[in-house]
Each structure stands twice: as C-alpha cells, then as structure tokens.
C-alpha cells in the first residue's frame, strides 16, 4: 500500500483509507474489518463525532487498542446533536470545538488526534475564531494537524489562505468531477484533498448494474444518463472499481481515497481493485464519457 504526504505536513497516509461511517455497531464485526485494513497497509481511518451519536468513535477507539500508533486517526467536529431531539445543528463556535475535542479524545481512547476536521462550514462562520482555536489545539498537542470537510468554494477561499490547514475532504469521483477546478488552489495553499464518495454509492464498482436498479439518478445524471455512461465505461474498462480508484489517485493533489466497508468482503473487493490501478493509465475516455461540471452554489 503506497502512501502520500498530506499537504505539507509530516503525515503520510495510505492511498486507500478506511471510512468509519460504514462500520457495524457490533464491536467484534467492526474489529475484523479494522484489523484487516491495518494488515493490508491502510494507516488512515476517518470518523466523526456525528456518526452513530459518537458510538463510531468509541468502536474505533476500542478496536484500535494497542495498534493506535499504527494509525493516522482523523475525526470531525461542528455538527452538534440536539439533546432530546433526533437531529443535529451546526455549531462551529470556538467554545464548542474546545468542548468537543475532549469528548472525541475520550471516546477514541487516545490523547491526541492526528487530523481534526471541521465537518462543514458556511461563509458566515467565525473563521478567525475557528482557525485560532485549531491553532491552539495544535500548540496544546491535542491535534497534530487540522483540515475541513467541505465542497463550498467560498468557504475554501476564506479558510485555506488564512490557515495552516493540511486537508480538504471532498466528494469526488468520475461521476462527480466538480472539485477539479479547485485542486490547484488547494495544492497552492499547502493542503491535499482526501476524497469521499469515490465509488459513487457503489455505481463505480463491478456491481454497478445491481446498484443502478436502486437509484433515481446521481447528482445531475438522470437514470437514463447513468445507465448509458456506466454501460459505456464498462465497455471501455475491465474493472469499474479499479477505474474509480485510479481515476481519483491520478490527481497529485489527492492524498487518499476514503472508502467505507461494512464487511470484510467489501474491503477485500476494494483492496483487490487497488492492486489493479497501475494498469490503468489512459483516462481520456473517462473524461469524454462523464460530465465536467462546476459547483453552481456558494461561489
């Protein structure tokens, strides 16, 4: 498993990362997947305090145990559960971030987080306060680096130049190429992209035909457009799962692709696809067959 530098930081993360959100709430089942990932050379695990009301952090923390030092551990903050109501609200205030970091540390069973990410953001947020808080957490040794999970261009233009952020988590795949126009800016500011949605809800895997039966479209693709695009891609490339990973990792700004797994079989399929990516070097057909779109909002 190859590793890439996360921005200009000292963190080197595996090209395939494990997304914690898909893990089972059964600790034993989750542990089998995490151990399998670590044994395969995956060293980056992404979670958030939002997932399963914080239980996802607890499960990952308990699962890692003595293997904690093998892992670049990332979590997120900003989506705050509302007491007594099954919903959350946005809270990126410095006071809440300072409170939430300690709760995440406790659940993860660790005394530091490698990468702490703001889980969204709006242009109206107190960015000076947010950045100052993250910098304070670094000085205190509670986090090693920080970043953001956001697709909003106006937020990225505000946050990145004013901070020492090292990562931007964005939905990106051959079926969602909107982030491409921002890769140059992100790299210029010393950060890397970590992608989510790499396999587009399974549409960019070898079970795409079955997945297609259960969607009403994807982004701006209608069902008919999806069917045509995926059929054409499958005719040109032997393995859509491998293509999905290779397509993302062709970009030097991308440090890693976060892919979830709810079973060992799913993880095994991802690892098998990863082994094939070096054989995929021509992406002209992908670019021709897929939509090259830009974000229309939050500019």
Residues 15-43: what's their mean pLDDT?
93
pLDDT tens across 132-163, in order?
Answer: 999 999 999 999 999 999 999 999 999 999 99
Domains and CATH numbers, the chain: 3-199+248-275 (3.20.20.100)
Residue 47 pLDDT > 90? yes
At 251-260, the pLDDT tens digits run: 999 999 999 9
Percent of the chain with pLDDT over 90: 86
Q: Which of 51, 172, 221, 274 is catalytic?
A: 51
Mention every residue, 6+ apart, whose C-beta is less than 8 A from residue 174: 200, 204, 233, 243, 244, 247, 286, 290
Is 295 marked active-site? no
Strand partners, 13: 4
- Paired strand residues for 148: 118, 168
Give the strand pairing for 192-196 and 167-171: parallel
pTM score, two decimals?
0.94
Report residue 283's pLDDT band, with 50, 70 and 90 as the boundaries.
very high
Enumerate the β-bridge partners of residue 3: 14
Q: Which is more confidently placed, 81 or 293?
A: 293
**Beta partners for residue 18, in sequence order:** 45, 259
Mean pLDDT of the chain: 94
Instruction: Pull the structure tokens for residue 148.
Output: 């953001």
User: 6 burial class (0-12, 13-18, 19+ CB within 10 angstroms)?
Assistant: buried
Average pLDDT score over residue span 187-205: 97
Q: Where are the alpha helices (DSSP H) in the chain?
A: 27-39, 55-64, 94-108, 127-139, 153-162, 183-188, 208-212, 223-236, 240-249, 264-274, 284-289
Instruction: Determine the pLDDT at residue 90.
Output: 79
């Amino acid at each position: 498993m190859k590793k890439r530098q996360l921005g200009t930081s000292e963190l080197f993360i595996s090209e395939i990362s494990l997304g914690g959100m898909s893990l089972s709430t059964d600790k034993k089942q989750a542990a089998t997947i995490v151990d399998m990932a670590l044994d395969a050379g995956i060293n980056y695990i992404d979670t958030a305090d939002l997932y399963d009301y914080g239980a996802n952090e607890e499960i990952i923390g308990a699962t890692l145990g003595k293997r904690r030092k093998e892992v670049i551990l990332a979590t997120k903050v900003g989506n705050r559960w509302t007491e007594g109501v099954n919903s959350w609200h946005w809270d990126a205030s410095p006071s809440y971030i300072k409170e939430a970091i300690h709760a995440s540390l406790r659940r993860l069973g660790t005394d530091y987080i490698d990468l702490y990410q703001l889980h969204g953001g709006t242009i109206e947020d107190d960015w000076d306060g947010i950045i100052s808080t993250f910098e304070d957490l670094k000085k205190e040794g509670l986090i090693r680096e920080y970043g953001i999970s956001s697709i909003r261009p106006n937020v990225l233009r505000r946050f990145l130049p004013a901070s020492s952020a090292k990562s931007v988590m964005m939905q990106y795949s051959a079926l969602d190429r909107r982030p491409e126009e921002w890769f140059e800016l992100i790299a210029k500011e010393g950060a890397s992209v970590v992608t989510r949605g790499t396999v587009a809800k399974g549409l960019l895997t070898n079970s795409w035909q079955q997945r297609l039966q259960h969607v009403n479209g994807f982004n701006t693709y209608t069902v008919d457009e999806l069917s045509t695009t995926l059929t054409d891609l499958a005719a040109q490339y032997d393995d859509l799962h491998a293509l999905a990973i290779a397509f993302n990792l062709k970009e030097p700004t991308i440090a890693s692709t976060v892919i979830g797994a709810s079973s060992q079989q799913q993880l095994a399929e991802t690892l098998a696809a990863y082994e094939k990516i070096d054989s995929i070097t021509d992406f002209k057909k992908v670019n021709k067959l897929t939509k090259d779109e830009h974000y229309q909002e939050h500019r």
